[in-house]
Each structure stands twice: as C-alpha cells, then as structure tokens.
Homo-oligomer: A and B are copies of this chain.
C-alpha cells in the first residue's frame, strides 16, 4: 500500500470515527456531581487526584482536601497548593501509615476526627471538589462505619474523589467513575530504586 492509499483509508476511517464521537458528545449532555474512585496497587492514584485538584484550582474553584494518612503528600504538593492559598482547604489528620503508628485505637480516633472534617466539607456546597485522600485505607481496616460514610457520600453536593488501594465494593457500587491503577512495572520492588524527590514526593 502506498502513502496516498494509506492517507485515503485513514481519512475515511477518521470520518466515521468523528461521526461516532460527535454522536457520543451530542447524547452525553447531562451534568452530575461525580464520585470518582482511584484504586488499585499501581502508582498514580493520589497523583491523579492531585492533578484534578490543581485543574479545579486553575479554574478558580474552591477545593477541600482531607488526607486520611499523613505523609502521602509532602513538600512538592504543599508548595504547589500554596499558590492557591485562598481557594484550598487542606487538612492532614492521619499520622502516617498504620505500620508506623502501630496503634489501632489511636488510628481509629484519628480516622474519626478526619471523617468529621470531611463530613462538614461534603455538606458545604461552596466547595466544587472534595478530595478524600487514602480514605480507602481507613475503610479497609474498618476504622469508620462504612454505611455512614456511604450515606454521606450519596448526599454530597460536589465532585468528590476517593483514593487508596482496596476500595470497598460497596463504594465502587455508588461511584460514577472508577479507575483501577494496575501496577505493570514498579521500580521500587524490582530494581532497588528509592523514592525520588519530584517524582514520588
């Protein structure tokens, strides 16, 4: 097949594709406050959430963030967020990963405290986006009553993102958009490479 032939076939295929895309866009005309879940064992869950937060801030929207596990975000994120001080409410309530604290009762108390803050945000429609970072971890360990969390999420008034591995099936059930970040290759485990500034924190 020569180049002209390739070009002609490409044009035909793309015309059909455009018809399909246009139809899709025409039919998809509803708006909805989305519940978005990023889960799975791969990298990029909190990073995609952070990217969405910055996108919203870029539009001048008010964003609330509750971090259920301290330490997931560090100086890089905080410095970027500080450029939007007037728009972002950022609460870090947890105390690090559970293997660092090793204290279940204290972890539960912190999770409840974080959830109280989250609940207030989720009821305040001045926020256009609320991020509940690593909420899945806390739910996985049953540190919060799942039914209560789900019922608050169902009543929320804004786009909401939940991150963390091992999302509960009941959460996926009520979510609008779910992406599983699947680990295909990971330099930590396989190559002995440490977490590097600017990439992982």
CB <8 Å contact, A76 and B102: no
Interface footprint category on A: 35 or more
Q: With a CB–CB cut-off of 8 A, which chain B residues contact A60?
A: 79
A residues 150-201 with Cβ under 8 Å of B?
A: 159, 172, 175-189, 191-194, 196-199, 201
State how many angstroms separate the Cβ of A183 from the closest Cβ of chain B.
6
Within 8 Å of chain B (Cβ to Cβ): is A61?
A: yes
CB <8 Å contact, A55 and B201: yes
Within 8 Å of chain B (Cβ to Cβ): is A34?
A: yes
CB <8 Å contact, A182 and B40: yes
Within 8 Å of chain B (Cβ to Cβ): is A83?
A: yes
State how many angstroms separate the Cβ of A195 from the closest Cβ of chain B.
8
Within 8 Å of chain B (Cβ to Cβ): is A21?
A: yes
Within 8 Å of chain B (Cβ to Cβ): is A115?
A: no
Within 8 Å of chain B (Cβ to Cβ): is A98?
A: yes
Q: With a CB–CB cut-off of 8 A, which chain B residues contact A194?
A: 25, 28-31
CB <8 Å contact, B198 and A28: no
CB < 8 Å neighbour of A55 from B18, B76, B97: B76
CB <8 Å contact, A55 and B47: yes
CB < 8 Å neighbour of A199 from B6, B83, B159, B193: B159
Q: List 13 A-B contacts (CB under 8 A).
A: A10-B98, A21-B99, A38-B44, A44-B51, A49-B51, A51-B52, A51-B54, A59-B75, A80-B80, A172-B185, A176-B187, A177-B185, A180-B184
